[in-house]
Amino acid sequence: DKSNWREEVARVWKPQLIGIKRLGLPAVLGLRDPQHVLEDLQERLGLTLFEIPTLPPSLPGLRLEVILRRRALKSGVHFIEGPRVVGRIDGRSDGRRVSGVVLQTVGGPRVQTADVVILATGGILNGGLVFQQDGRVQESVFDLPVNYDQGRGYWTTTSPIDSQPYSGYGLMVNDLMQPLDAKGAPIFENLYVAGGLLGGVDRTMEGSRQGIDLATAYRAVEVALG
């Protein structure tokens, strides 16, 4: 973002780029105003620049977060950062509707009511799915049914480079992103699931994690808003 950095880069690089029309750089060209940084550096170097995405955490991801957060705040979205969602509101569901979640705060459990809940707690690494020593796989907030192989011996294969069965464990949903029971019926009308909780796909082997996260989150919000 700093103009003196771009000035120094242009001074050092420009003599080495004679005859070059396009140059790819790691995606590090600014956080606050990347378009201005890109255009300014292109003008200084006299060529066309393009960015090459890097592994997360990456600047493109941070840029998107900043943009979405700014837009959300303008739209009246309230962020609660820090507390962890640890469970559902027991005894306060209305038939097939959830009433909200329980947050673990410094001062103790806190009830957060909601008309609609989008559950996006992630998979194994993020704590949305918990793999127990006794061979059970549990969803950590609502204890929703998880599709998985019974018996820990079936969770992995002997080859570390092959697709691992546990990577595909998760929740089954319908086209409205509602979690389903064993009979394929929605469990709650106002609960939607997105991201790493979804089963049936090996995101690591496919390289599809970010695409699935974005597409399912968009769909869940679309349905939740009606």
**pLDDT, tens digit (0-9, with 9 covering 90-100), for 47-80:** 999 999 888 788 998 998 899 999 999 999 999 9
- Nearest of 170, 186, 196, 197 to residue 223 by alpha carbon: 186
Q: Where are the alpha helices (DSSP H) in 46-178?
A: 59-74
Domain match, 150 and 201 both:
yes
Domain match, 59 and 134 both:
no
Looking at 11, 43, 74, the residue that finishes a domain is 74
Q: Does residue 105 lie within any of the structural domains?
A: no
Tally the domains of the chain.
2
- Nearest of 226, 225, 163 to residue 200 by alpha carbon: 163
Do the beta carbons of residue 197 and residue 148 sit within 8 Å? no
Between strands 48-52 and 100-105, the pairing is: unpaired
Domain match, 218 and 128 both:
yes
* 178: amino acid identity, one letter: Q
pLDDT at 3 over 60: yes
Mean pLDDT, rounded, for 8-25: 96
Residues ≥6 apart with Cβ < 8 Å to 6: 37, 40, 41, 44
Domain match, 69 and 119 both:
no
Domain match, 153 and 207 both:
yes
pLDDT at 218 over 90: yes
Q: How much of the chain, in percent, has pLDDT values that exceed 90?
A: 76
* 201: amino acid identity, one letter: V
Q: Does residue 144 lie within any of the structural domains?
A: yes
Length of the chain measured in residues: 226
Q: Does residue 89 lie within any of the structural domains?
A: no
Domain match, 70 and 131 both:
no
Mean pLDDT, rounded, for 185-208: 94
Domain match, 128 and 66 both:
no
Domain match, 220 and 152 both:
yes
Look at residue 145 in the predicted model and tell me its pLDDT.
96
Q: pLDDT tens across 24-40, in order?
A: 999 999 998 999 999 99
Place of tokens 């595909």: 168
Domain match, 132 and 210 both:
yes
Look at residue 71 in the predicted model and tell me its pLDDT.
94
Domain match, 119 and 210 both:
yes
Looking at 42, 59, 74, the residue that finishes a domain is 74
Q: Does residue 109 lie within any of the structural domains?
A: no
Q: Does residue 106 lie within any of the structural domains?
A: no
Q: Does residue 157 lie within any of the structural domains?
A: yes
Range of the domain at 168: 115-225
Split at pLDDT 50, 70, 90, the class of 226 is confident
Do the beta carbons of residue 85 and residue 121 sit within 8 Å? yes
Report how far residue 83's alpha carbon sits from residue 76's, in angstroms, rounded to the nearest whole number: 20
Neighbours of 45 (CB within 10 A): 17
User: Crossing angle for the helix pair 3-13 and 34-45, nearest 10 degrees?
Assistant: 30
| Tokens read off for 48 | 């066309």
Q: pLDDT tens across 132-175, in order?
A: 999 999 999 999 999 999 888 889 998 888 889 999 999 999 99
Q: Does residue 103 lie within any of the structural domains?
A: no
Look at residue 91 in the predicted model and tell me its pLDDT.
57
Confidence (pTM) = 0.79
* 51: amino acid identity, one letter: E
Place of tokens 């080495």: 16
Q: pLDDT tens across 88-117, in order?
A: 886 555 668 999 999 999 999 999 999 999
Look at residue 125 in the predicted model and tell me its pLDDT.
85
